[in-house]
Structure 1
Amino acid sequence: MRIAEVLRKKGSDVATISPDATVTELLAVLAERNVGALVVVENERIVGIVSERDVVRRAHERGAAILSAKVAEIMTTDVATCDPAETVDHLTVLMTQRRIRHVPVIDNGRLCGIVSIGDVVKNRMDELEEAQKQLQAYILQG
């Protein structure tokens, strides 16, 4: 299955934030949107990605002072991205190798979605359920 199909099923809405926002603002958006990561965008260009993990890691290092820090100080700048034409299997390998849970989807240089490890797992579960139904139908016909 292609990433484009995953986005068709889940939607292509992407939560973003400015690198100049504070970590407190970041936490508010994460909670409000019920997501685990935000794509950091400046002048319509991806400059990073920031996740709950990033906040926890920095909070451990810096304590409550992290809340007033800028997103730019804690974000990951080496952002792994994928194309809608890529397969879910390819994305699974990328996520496993890089130990990441969120990958922005870029189509013709434009941010068009984000896929999480949860989306990948759900896709795999859907595939397995469909295969099970087909196998049961085949057996019952036999």
Structure 2
Amino acid sequence: MITVGELLDSKGHSIWSAAPDDTVFEAIKLMDEKGVGALAVLNDGALVGMISERDYARRVILKGRSSKNTTVKDIMSTQVYYTFPSQTVDDCMVVMSERRIRHLPVLKGDELIGMVSVGDLIKDIIAEQKHMIEQLEHYIAGDET
């Protein structure tokens, strides 16, 4: 079973973030440029929240606010669920399903070292299942590989 640390080593440790005083417009623009659905919110390097497309839709658009006049701290989620490099992909899927979240920051101590999305986890699970199927097919066929 693969760990989050191993997954980050293969996908990369890129972290896209916003500051609490950034405008929501700036945050959404960065999400678009990087092709991600959420950003870590960092204050002096410390993880203080998350901002996602869902936060934008629910707390800006539906409330009739302006993304250029609203700050990240006004709409970010401050209850941040996170994971550690030693946790398994399966453990993360359980947390994400139970908490109905799509992104998990990865912390090593207090340091943010990466981010995993539900898409990252699903890709890994599918690859692992494909490998298992291939192994079983070889076993059934009597291959000695």
Is TM > 0.5 for Structure 1 vs Structure 2?
Answer: yes
Aligned to 2:43: 42
CA contact (8 A) 1:15 1:39 kept: yes
Structure 1 residue runs without a partner (length 5+): none
The one-letter code matched in structure 2 to 1:135 is: L
> Alpha carbon RMSD of aligned pairs, Å?
1.2
Moved more, 55-64 or 84-93: 55-64
Helix, strand or coil at the partner of 1:41? strand
Match of 1:131 in 2: 132
Q: Deviations over 1:91-130 (max 9, x none)?
A: 1111111110000000121100101000111011011110
1:14-53 to 2 correspondence within 5 Å? 14-53=15-54
Q: What is the Cα deviation at residue 64 of structure 1?
A: 4.6
Shift of 1:66: 3.7
Partner of 1:87: 88
3-state SS of the aligned residue for 1:62? coil
- Secondary structure, counterpart of 2:13 in structure 1: coil
Aligned equivalents of 2:130 and 2:62: distance in 1? 43
Alignment of 1:58 with 2:89, yes or no, is no
State the 1:65 CA deviation: 2.0
Q: What are the Cα deviations for residues 36-87 of structure 1, in whole angstroms up to 9, with x where unaligned?
A: 0000000110010000000011234322524320000010001001110011
Percent identity between the two aligned chains: 38
Distance 2:114 2:9 in 1: 10
Where structure 2 has 5 or more consecutive residues not aligned to the other structure, the ranges are none
1:4–1:85 Cα contact (<8 Å) kept: yes
SS at match of 2:31: helix
Q: Give the TM-score normalised by structure 1.
A: 0.95
- Listed one character per residue, the Cα deviations across residues 5-34 of structure 1 (whole Å, up to 9, x for unaligned) are 111111111101101000110111001111
